[in-house]
Amino acid sequence: MPRLALLQSKGFPSKREAFSHHETLIRDAAAQGAQIIVTQELFLTPYFCITEDPSLFDLADPIPCETTDQLGKLAGELGVVIVSSLFEQRGPGLFHNTAVVHDADGRMLGQYRKSHIPQDPGFEEKFYFTPGDTDWPVWETRFGKIGVLICWDQWYPEAARLMALGGAEILLYPTAIGWLPSEKEALGAAQHSAWETVQRGHAVANGCFLAAVNRVGTEGETEFWGQSFVANPYGELVAKASSDQEEILIHDLDLGQVEDFRRIWPFFRDRRIDAYGDLTKRWRH
């Protein structure tokens, strides 16, 4: 029964400060028995996508890099799986929003590049990130089979399904999502409800655990709403963090529930794979 830890944190002005702070959080989580530890989206930097500024591409690093080397050493030292979210420079003028997975022996198992890229006021991500081309990898870690998706990916049932069909028992979503002051009073509660509900639905539809780890604090005009959570295969919230405090959210995952659920609710058995061809079209008309 692996113990999962979600590191809900604020942003920091420098990568050095952010890494030092998160190293402390990782060590604290491991001391509490955590075996799979997950950072929020772009944990090394402020959420720079608030504006379009070419100079901010300087925040990116190639992968592997010093940070991934340090995370690997930390994972090996503590015997934990670490899932981290980084700003990757893949090549000249080519950048991705990328999650990296280190196994409990310190090996970097691979990376997932964010596939769905949003473009909204305060979330100018199409300016910075190229859509990912890593397919839908699932990693068999020491403590379970995990699939990692990133923020805007969490709205797409196709992405969750493909990870589950690859064998994922746990879906992990590093996230940076929040309210704009012009919208919060009228739409804030509905926006948060939609975000949480759609992901709980992914847990049910795929019979797996799902965990989202979000930021807290205000950056620019965006108030990140925190409320990181873990949902079980029935979509029940089994752990949830606050809306405004840094937290290490810990929950033990009984992975036996995944197989038990999938036997009782055989959604994979009853899928009409012969009838879904139109899903690869943009629109059916």
Q: What amino acid is encoded at 102 in this protein?
A: H
Over 90: is that where the pLDDT of 162 sits? yes
Structural domain range at position 224: 3-269
Residue 22 lies in a domain: yes
- Active site (catalytic) residues: 41, 114, 151
Over 90: is that where the pLDDT of 74 sits? yes
Task: Residue 31: give its domain's CATH number.
Answer: 3.60.110.10
Residue 225 lies in a domain: yes
Please give the tally of structural domains in the chain: 1
Over 90: is that where the pLDDT of 53 sits? yes
Q: What are phi and psi of 186, to 5 degrees?
A: -85, -35
Over 90: is that where the pLDDT of 92 sits? yes
Which pLDDT belongs to residue 116? 98
53-71: average pLDDT: 98
Residue 83 lies in a domain: yes
Residue 233 lies in a domain: yes
Per the CB < 8 A criterion, the answer to whether 50 and 122 are in contact is yes
pLDDT in tens, 113-129: 999 999 999 999 999 99
Residue in 158, 128, 105 with CA at minimum distance from that of residue 41? 128
pTM summary value:
0.97
Q: Is 86 left (phi over 0), alpha (psi -120 to 50) or beta?
A: beta
Per the CB < 8 A criterion, the answer to whether 24 and 230 are in contact is no
Binned at pLDDT 50, 70 and 90, residue 285 comes out as: confident
Count of CB atoms situated within 10 Å of the CB of 119: 11
